[in-house]
Structure formats: C-alpha cells, structure tokens
C-alpha cells in the first residue's frame, strides 16, 4: 500500500492567514493526488483533484501543487468557513489511501 | 444533482454481518463513467477506503478487509450494497458511500452520502 503522510497534524491560524499543508507519498504517484475538506459531523468534500485542478464550485483561495511524492495544499487567505480537517488521498493505485488529516483550528 | 444515501442497521453484534445499502438519485449506477465506493471512518480517526464496484459487477477491495467484504450492485433499484462479515469492535465506524469519478485519468470522490454510524456491540 502507498502510505500518505501529512504535516502538520494540526495547526492554529487566524482569519486572513496563508496556510500551507503538505502531503508526502511513500512512492511516486505522479499527480494522482486529491485534497478534501471535512467539517465536523459531515462527509468529506473534494477541493482539488489531479494535484492541482480545482473542483467546480470551490473558492479560488484554495490551490494545490506538486508531483511525484511531495504535494502542497495552500489556502491563500483563511476564511471562517475554512476551519476543518483536510485530507490528501492518492488515486494512483488501489487500495486508495488517505493521509491522517490536518486539523485547522482558530488561533 | 447527484445524491447518495446510506441505510442499514446502526447496531451489529460481534461476529455477525454488517449490511448497508447506498441509494443513488440524480445519477445512475449503470453509468460506465464511474466506480461506486464504500469508505469508513472510525470515531475520531481518519478515512479508510473499503472497496468499489463497477456497474458490470467488477470489484476491487482493500486487502485489509478483502476476506470479509462483498460489494454488489442492483441496477434495477439504482443501489449498491456493502456486506462485511465477522465484525468486531474495530469495525465500528461511520460508513460512507461515494461516487468515484474519472476525469482525464484522475479518480476522485466527487459525491458522498451523509454517512451512517455503525456500532459493533453486544
């Protein structure tokens, strides 16, 4: 299985801050990397697929980059509704695997 | 608008079989453009992909549960189902069904059900 490791596991930030979350794969996965947001008690919602393609309807303050083994999710200006847990997930091979999550909390 | 809805018992006894159904509306499980997946999340923990089914009936399961899991599809009811046998407390989780979309070779879960909590306890 491909292991996905996110850092940090949690972070505290203020509204308006620029936030960066990283994800590392245990082997090269090209750009087969997705990012999702999960709010408490809700299902995850995809933000970015293919490492950098913004899902329809997702605000442009979210962006993704990377290829191979190292990937980044950036929120350019954190908004109150962005406080949530973020997961990376590889779709290069099965079993599909997720990172352990990064919880973004209010500072 | 595609919607998915999980249904099934919220409490299952140890060693018994967990059975859930996902009903799809606004889309068709018989479409050849998607896979249909089950994903679970133990309370307070991360996400684990269980497996998927394609409309022709082909399946792909996570080795972590492969010996205990069956995913099937019922095109007449526009549903797909999960059966997980010999459950233990470790199978307690919120279970989600999701559509696995394919765009330019990229697979991603674009629609999810709301999730259903299944507790394994006697």
Specify the pLDDT at position A103.
98
Measured between beta carbons, which residues in chain B are less than 8 angstroms from residue A34? Answer: 106, 108-109
Task: Count CB neighbours of A76 within 10 A.
Answer: 14
Residue B42 pLDDT exceeds 90: yes
What span, in angstroms and rounded, lies between the C-alpha atoms of A106 and A83?
A: 7
Measured between beta carbons, which residues in chain B are less than 8 angstroms from residue A37? Answer: none
Choose from A43, A49, A54, A55 for mutation: most chain B CBs within 10 A: A43
Cβ <8 Å between A50 and B60: no
Cβ <8 Å between B48 and A98: yes
Cβ <8 Å between A91 and B107: yes
Specify the pLDDT at position B104.
86
What span, in angstroms and rounded, lies between the C-alpha atoms of B49 and B95?
A: 10
pLDDT digits (tens, 9 = 90+) for B66-96: 999 999 999 999 999 999 999 999 999 999 9
Task: Count CB neighbours of B86 within 10 A.
Answer: 12
Q: Which residues of B touch A (CB under 8 A)?
A: 37, 46-49, 60-64, 96, 98, 103-104, 106-110, 112-115
Cβ <8 Å between B109 and A44: yes
Specify the pLDDT at position B60.
97
Residue B55 pLDDT exceeds 90: no
Measured between beta carbons, which residues in chain A are less than 8 angstroms from residue B114? Answer: 42-43
The sign of the torsion formed by the CA atoms of A84, B35, B42, A9 equals: negative
Measured between beta carbons, which residues in chain B are less than 8 angstroms from residue A36? Answer: 109
Residue in A32, A43, A50 closest to B112 by CB: A43
Report phi then psi at A60, rounded to 5: -75, -5
Q: How many residues does chain A have?
A: 107
Residue B105 pLDDT exceeds 90: no
pLDDT digits (tens, 9 = 90+) for A34-91: 999 999 999 999 999 999 999 999 999 999 999 999 999 999 999 999 999 999 999 9
CA distance to A9, A17, A38, A47, B34, per residue, from B103 (Å): 30, 32, 22, 14, 10
Specify the pLDDT at position B63.
97
Residue in B96, B103, B106 closest to A43 by CB: B96
pLDDT digits (tens, 9 = 90+) for A9-37: 999 999 999 999 999 999 999 999 999 99
Contact between residue A103 and residue A13 where contact means Cβ atoms under 8 Å apart = no
Contact between residue B49 and residue B33 where contact means Cβ atoms under 8 Å apart = no
If you average pLDDT over every residue of chain B, what do you get? 96
Measured between beta carbons, which residues in chain A are less than 8 angstroms from residue B38? Answer: none
Tokens (6 digits) for B41? 């999340």
* A29 CB-near residues (< 8 Å, 6+ apart): A2, A68, A69, A90, A92, A93
């Amino acid at each position: 299985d491909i292991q996905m490791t996110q850092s940090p596991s949690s972070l505290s930030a203020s509204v308006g801050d620029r936030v960066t979350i990283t994800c590392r794969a245990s082997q090269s996965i090209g750009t087969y990397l997705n990012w999702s947001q999960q709010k408490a008690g809700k299902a995850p919602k995809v933000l970015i697929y293919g490492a950098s393609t913004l899902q329809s309807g997702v605000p442009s303050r979210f962006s993704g980059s990377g290829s191979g083994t190292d990937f980044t999710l950036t929120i350019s200006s954190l908004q109150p509704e962005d406080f949530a847990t973020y997961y990376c997930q590889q779709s290069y091979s099965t079993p599909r695997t997720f990172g352990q999550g990064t919880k973004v909390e209010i500072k | 608008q595609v919607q998915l809805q999980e249904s099934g018992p919220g409490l299952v006894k140890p060693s018994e079989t967990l059975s859930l159904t996902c009903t799809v509306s606004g889309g068709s499980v018989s479409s050849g453009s998607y896979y249909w997946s089950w994903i679970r999340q133990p309370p307070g923990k991360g996400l684990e992909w269980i497996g998927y089914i394609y409309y022709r009936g082909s399946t792909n399961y996570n080795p972590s549960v492969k010996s205990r899991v069956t995913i099937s599809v019922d095109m007449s009811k526009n549903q797909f189902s999960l059966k997980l046998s010999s459950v233990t407390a470790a199978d307690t989780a919120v279970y989600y069904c999701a559509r696995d979309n394919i765009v330019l070779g990229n697979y991603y879960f674009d629609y999810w059900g709301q999730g259903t909590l299944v507790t394994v306890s006697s």
